Amino acid sequence: MDFTELADESAFRHRVRAWLAEHIPVAWRGRPGPYADPMSLDERRAWSKQLYAAGFVGLTWPTPYGGQGKPITFQNIVLEELARADAPQHVNASIGLAFAGPTILHWGSEEQKARLIPALLRGDEIWCQGFSEPEAGSDLANVRTAAVLDGDTWTVNGSKIWSSFAHLADRCILLARTEPDAPKHRGLSFLLADMHAPGVRVVPLTQITGQPEFNEMFFSDVAVPATSMLGERGDGWKVAMTVLRHERGTSAMGMAAALEKQVRTFARFVRDTGLGEDPRAQEGLRSAWISLQALRYTNYRLLSAVSRKAEPGPESAVAKLAWSEANQQLTRLALDLLGPYVAYASSQSDWSALWRCEALRARGNSIEGGTSEILKNVVAERVLGLPKGR
């Protein structure tokens, strides 16, 4: 891959940077902590519409559905500039834009794409993911949530867990068992469910950070139109693998941007607290910077594959692993540098409050999007060609 930024890419980067400098919401600039979001959901939607109107959303997506059909390098530029400006993300950044939308574009009918994609891009409809269950996490094929066809409607019963932002969502990409007598990988189908339908109940799960980012979802005789199936009946596993490839692959660009933001924050923290001469801080910053560059150039390989119209491959597991370990190491080091004081934050603006929250949240990095143990197996078996572990 040629790493030289082309003239149109450089001009686009400057346009994004200038626009963000002028348009970042004033309330956001003065927020007191990393997870203290001063913007309401309506304000988030309005900001997402601004991003879309400015031409910074759906850059690689087909123009008939509201995208711009640009090379994936433009999407990477937006993610980098959002992180460097510490700007709020699009309301659909985590689920809708990262992998729900790309999966609908890959598997959806023309009617589904025309109806769902523009609203997703504008932020009119927020998406969540219904994959994991209490007894189906890493073993995703063990999903038990059932969907039974009655005429032209699927009736869904079951539960999901660890569903990010489900308490805000309007729609859900839902993996359900439609063929109970088929082998477990072949008995699944992929539905697009309305989160406002009767019978849907969402229970937020307050995390150790104090934030309800994850949720339980319960489906009790929920009606899903047959036309809301993605792919064919029994294709659920194939469609789900497309989601996971995007979750670990193209979303890795967002991970690199987030890690760069974290490294910059750590450098400012070291400077502001007078820890610049501490050998641990110096070594930690060097190590984090090296990890960031390794992740960035690994992502460039993924960008090259996607630009050739290929989906992210098993190599994307390397990027997810690298980001998880680097972020956890950096936040843990920040706590070590702060020492006992970290337990006594006088306000949310204190460095101790920030790093305590970041370190607690980072514990989930090696679980979400596939546990590190599972991803190491993927790398060993499907990237390095080693014998299967079981």
Tokens standing for residue 278: 């501490």
Cα 52 vs. chain centroid, distance in angstroms? 18
The mean pLDDT value of the chain amounts to 88
pLDDT band at 3, cuts 50/70/90?
Answer: low
For residues 147 and 177, is the Cβ–Cβ distance under 8 A?
Answer: yes
Q: Which among 80, 213, 247, 315 is annotated as catalytic?
A: 247
pTM for the whole structure = 0.85
Of 313 and 297, the one with more pLDDT: 297
Torsion of CA 42, 213, 106, 321, to 10 degrees: 140
Q: Which CATH number fits domain 127-239: 3.50.50.60, 2.30.30.240, 2.40.110.10, 3.30.1330.10?
A: 2.40.110.10
Counting residues of the chain whose pLDDT is more than 90, the rounded percentage is 56
d(C-alpha 256, C-alpha 320), whole Å: 10
d(C-alpha 41, C-alpha 345), whole Å: 28
Q: 137-141, 257-261, 353-357: lowest mean pLDDT where?
A: 137-141
Concatenating the DSSP letter of every residue in 39-94 gives --HHHHHHHHHHHHHTT-SSTTS-GGGT-----HHHHHHHHHHHHHTTPPPPTTII
What letter does residue 334 receive in the DSSP assignment?
Answer: H
pLDDT digits (tens, 9 = 90+) for 131-145: 999 888 778 889 999
Residue range 30-34: mean pLDDT, rounded = 56
Q: 127-136, 161-170, 333-342: lowest mean pLDDT where?
A: 333-342
Please give the pLDDT value at position 322. Answer: 87
Alpha-carbon Rg for the chain, nearest whole angstrom, is: 21
Q: 28-42, 268-282, 361-375: lowest mean pLDDT where?
A: 28-42
Q: Check if 277 is active-site.
A: no
Strand partners, 216: 203
Task: Domain 7-91: give its CATH architecture.
Answer: Orthogonal Bundle (1.10)
* Residue boundaries of the structural domains of the chain: 7-91, 127-239, 249-383
d(C-alpha 335, C-alpha 166), whole Å: 31
CA atoms within 13 A of residue 319's CA, in its CB half-sphere? 31
Residue range 23-36: mean pLDDT, rounded = 70
pLDDT digits (tens, 9 = 90+) for 54-67: 999 999 999 999 99
Superfamily of segment(s) 249-383: Butyryl-CoA Dehydrogenase, subunit A, domain 3 (1.20.140.10)
Counting residues of the chain whose pLDDT is more than 70, the rounded percentage is 89
pLDDT band at 171, cuts 50/70/90?
Answer: very high
Please give the pLDDT value at position 18. Answer: 97
pLDDT band at 36, cuts 50/70/90?
Answer: low
Of 57 and 207, the one with more pLDDT: 57
Please give the pLDDT value at position 348. Answer: 44
Please give the pLDDT value at position 186. Answer: 92
CA atoms within 13 A of residue 156's CA, in its CB half-sphere? 34
pLDDT at residue 74 tops 50: yes
Please give the pLDDT value at position 119. Answer: 97
For residues 106 and 99, is the Cβ–Cβ distance under 8 A?
Answer: no
